[in-house]
């Protein structure tokens, strides 16, 4: 039985990766913090070890495992989390990969993000060969993921067997926090979304993302990166898909971007320093000004990445939120 060490197993993508590994017969060891919420792993036959991504003895915790899935990352669009983003993404990845070398891990799948790639001009879909300069990446989350991916490339240059995967926007079950896209689904279900910003994104079923991780382990080329994505949709099209699945009306009014931009700027720059919890992240609004479209042809061709119909993904996400009481009435 192959032993897989997984970081980030309590999160959205990680919880789905863990389930895919178990279904494929792997023994799974998950690194969890003492304060981690373990709901996404409850009832699963996994080995839990407590620790932190930056622990000096991380290699000892990996001993006996053959493969590593480094899925963990801090996701935040709040500017106040700037330092934490670099610590938990870039610096932590450097430590995790160094620990993997010390522990003689045979192969690592590193979970980057399309955020590290950047966006094409005027909403043009881009592939793995594209790279925005660091200075053009919007926000510290994207920049921290770019720098974390550079750490993976440094490890590869040291002859470490690492495959990089770049998920786009996953939707589906186990979105426990939830993610910003999960939050859109919840606000839609609660009928709290009267208008929308004219943006676009690439969506994929989270189970396909999880399967893409296993396929990258089995078939991925060392040093390559693979976009794990599926379909490019405008936010309007995504909301119409939600309306189709839920039989609820989609909002028809667009929101001029200056409005959320103004609210976000006031929240983060003026009110947050006074102790008020901001409601709209400034970096999130800035990102929404760009259509985030990608091409996953390479992963489909070389890995056999599944391309589940997004209607199924949306239905699975809606069902999961409803079954766990995220929405009072439906």
Predicted local distance difference test score (pLDDT) of residue 280: 58
Read off the pLDDT of each residue in 206-229 and give the average, rounded to a whole number.
98
Measured distance CA(242)–CA(247) in Å, rounded: 8
Predicted local distance difference test score (pLDDT) of residue 284: 60
Read off the pLDDT of each residue in 226-241 and give the average, rounded to a whole number.
95
Establish how many alpha carbons lie within 13 A of residue 295's alpha carbon, considering only the half-sphere containing its beta carbon: 12
Which residue has better confidence, 41 or 192?
41
- Residue 202 pairs in a beta bridge with 232
DSSP states of 117-171 as a string?
T---GGG--B-TT----GGGS-HHHHHHHHHHHHHHHHHHHTT--EEEEEE-EEE
Predicted local distance difference test score (pLDDT) of residue 259: 47
- The 10 Å CB-count burial string (b at 16+, else e) for 187-204 is ebbeeebeebbebbbbbb
State percent of the chain over pLDDT 70: 88
* DSSP label of 267: I
Predicted local distance difference test score (pLDDT) of residue 265: 44
Read off the pLDDT of each residue in 233-247 and give the average, rounded to a whole number.
94
CATH for the stretch 3-176+203-232+292-309: 3.40.50.720
Q: pLDDT tens digits, residue range 109-119?
A: 999 999 999 99
Predicted local distance difference test score (pLDDT) of residue 264: 47
Q: Would you say 62 and 105 are in contact if contact means Cβ atoms under 8 Å apart?
A: yes
Q: Check pLDDT > 50 for residue 31.
A: yes
Which residue, 2, 58, 13, 37, is CA-closest to 173?
13
Q: pLDDT tens digits, residue range 274-319?
A: 566 655 564 565 566 678 899 999 999 999 999 999 999 999 999 9
Contacting residues for 86 by C-beta, under 8 A, at least 6 apart: 140, 144, 147
Residue ranges covered by each domain of the chain: 3-176+203-232+292-309
> Is 141 one of the annotated active-site residues of the chain?
yes
Q: Check pLDDT > 60 for residue 256.
A: no
- Residue 27 pairs in a beta bridge with 3
Measured distance CA(326)–CA(324) in Å, rounded: 6
Predicted local distance difference test score (pLDDT) of residue 267: 54
Predicted local distance difference test score (pLDDT) of residue 260: 46
pLDDT-derived band at 268, boundaries 50, 70, 90: low
Q: Is the dihedral of CA 152, 157, 159, 163 positive or negative?
A: positive
Q: Would you say 12 and 179 are in contact if contact means Cβ atoms under 8 Å apart?
A: yes
Q: Check pLDDT > 80 for residue 2.
A: yes
pLDDT-derived band at 197, boundaries 50, 70, 90: confident
Distances (CA, A) of 323 to 181, 210, 280, 318, 319: 18, 22, 28, 9, 6
Read off the pLDDT of each residue in 36-53 and give the average, rounded to a whole number.
96
Read off the pLDDT of each residue in 181-196 and give the average, rounded to a whole number.
86
Q: Across the beta sheet with 231-234, what order do the strands follow?
A: 169-171, 200-205, 231-234
Predicted local distance difference test score (pLDDT) of residue 276: 62
Q: pLDDT tens digits, residue range 147-166?
A: 999 999 999 999 999 999 99
Contacting residues for 279 by C-beta, under 8 A, at least 6 apart: 263, 267
Predicted local distance difference test score (pLDDT) of residue 279: 59
Q: Check pLDDT > 80 for residue 130.
A: yes
Task: Given the residues 75, 110, 141, 293, select the one marked as catalytic.
Answer: 141
Q: Would you say 270 and 263 are in contact if contact means Cβ atoms under 8 Å apart?
A: no
Which residue, 182, 199, 194, 210, is CA-closest to 289?
199
Q: Would you say 11 and 170 are in contact if contact means Cβ atoms under 8 Å apart?
A: no
Q: pLDDT tens digits, residue range 56-92?
A: 999 999 999 999 999 999 887 666 778 999 999 999 9
Predicted local distance difference test score (pLDDT) of residue 89: 94
Predicted local distance difference test score (pLDDT) of residue 104: 97
Which residue has better confidence, 79 or 45?
45
Average model confidence (pLDDT) across the chain: 90
């Amino acid at each position: 039985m192959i032993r897989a060490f997984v970081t980030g197993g309590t999160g959205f993508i990680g919880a789905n990766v863990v389930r895919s590994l178990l279904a494929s017969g792997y023994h799974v060891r998950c690194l969890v913090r003492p304060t981690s919420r373990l709901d996404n792993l409850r009832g699963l036959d996994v080995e839990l070890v407590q620790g932190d991504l930056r622990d000096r003895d991380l290699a000892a915790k990996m001993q006996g495992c053959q493969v590593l899935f480094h899925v963990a990352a801090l996701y935040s669009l709040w500017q106040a989390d700037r330092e934490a983003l670099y610590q938990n993404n870039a610096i932590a990845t450097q430590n995790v990969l160094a620990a993997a070398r010390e522990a003689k891990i045979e192969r690592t799948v590193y979970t980057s993000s399309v955020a590290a790639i950047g966006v094409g001009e005027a909403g043009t879909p881009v592939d793995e060969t594209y790279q925005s300069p660091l200075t053009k990446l919007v926000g510290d989350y994207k920049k921290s993921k770019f720098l974390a991916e550079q750490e993976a490339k440094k490890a590869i240059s040291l002859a470490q067997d690492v495959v990089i995967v770049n998920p786009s926007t996953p939707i589906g079950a186990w979105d426990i926090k939830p993610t910003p896209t999960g939050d859109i689904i919840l606000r839609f279900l609660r009928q709290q979304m009267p208008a929308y910003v004219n943006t676009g994104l690439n969506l994929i079923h989270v189970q396909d993302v999880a399967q893409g991780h296993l396929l990258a382990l089995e078939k991925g080329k060392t040093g390559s990166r693979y976009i794990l994505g599926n379909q490019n949709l405008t936010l309007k099209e995504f909301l119409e898909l939600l309306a189709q699945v839920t039989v609820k009306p989609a909002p028809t009014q667009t929101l001029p971007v200056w409005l959320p931009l103004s609210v976000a700027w006031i929240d983060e720059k003026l009110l947050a320093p006074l102790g008020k919890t901001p409601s709209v992240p400034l970096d999130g609004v800035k990102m929404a000004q760009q259509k985030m479209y990608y091409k996953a042809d390479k992963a489909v061709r070389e890995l056999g990445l599944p391309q589940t119909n997004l209607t199924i993904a949306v239905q699975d996400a809606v069902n999961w939120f409803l079954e766990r009481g995220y929405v009072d009435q439906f």
